[in-house]
Structures are given as structure tokens and as C-alpha cells.
Amino acid sequence: MRSPRISLSAHSAIEVIAAPALMAAPFVFGFGQAATVVSVLIGVLLLSLALQVEGPRRTVPISAHAGFDYALAFAAAVGGIAIGLATDEWYATVFLVGVGAAQALLTASTRFSMVRSA
């Protein structure tokens, strides 16, 4: 079994890029109100977590970051399915479930450890 290959700083950089895209997607793709709220909320939470990875004053310990990432992935997927069932916006469902899957894959591929500096 291989060990995860993505560094924590690369993980954070990917999330910092993905979060604004996630927040903008409902406006670009014309999602309804419920899908827009879920997508923007997931994007805001993702960005806030990503910005706390680096730096000495982080409020979320690295040991908890993976758990929060998996929770966000789950929330995106479940939110997408709920939106599809409630509003028949299946394009928003596919998008949010895809976001959840991508987030889970990113988290599973990340080494959650910091490099110690001298």
C-alpha cells in the first residue's frame, strides 16, 4: 500500500484555488437558490480551513483538519443529493457530489504532517 503523495501545503493550495471556484460556480452555471447556498457555504468553509493550514496561529489542529475535510466532502455530496431530490436540479447534484468526491480523494491523498524547520 502506497503512502499519500500530496503534501499538506499542496493540499492547502489546491483548496485555496478550489474554494472560490466552488463559490462562483452557482452563478456561472445558473444553480437555483438552494444549490447556491450549499455551494457557497461549502466554499467558504473550505477556504477558511485551507487558510489555517499554514502558520503558527492556526486554530484548527492538523490532526483535525482531515476530519473536517471528510465532513465537508460528505456535506457536499449529501447536500447535492438532497437538492436533486427536493428541486430536481440534477446538474447541481452532479456538481456537488463531484465536489464531495474530489474533496474526499484529495484528503485521502494527503500526508497530514508538517515539515519541521531547523
Give the model confidence (pLDDT) of 77-105 as tens digits. Answer: 999 999 999 999 999 999 999 999 999 99
Question: Residue 113: which pLDDT band, with cuts at 50, 70 and 90?
Answer: confident
Q: Is the pLDDT of residue 106 over 80?
A: yes
Grid coordinates in use for 67?
476530519
Q: What is the pTM of this model?
A: 0.87
From the CB of residue 114, how many other CB atoms can be counted at a distance below 10 Å? 13
Question: Which among 80, 18, 13 is positioned nearest to 44, based on CA atoms?
Answer: 18
**What is the spatial distance between Cα 116 and Cα 113, in angstroms, rounded to a whole number?**
9
User: What's the chain's average pLDDT?
Assistant: 90
**What is the spatial distance between Cα 52 and Cα 54, in angstroms, rounded to a whole number?**
6
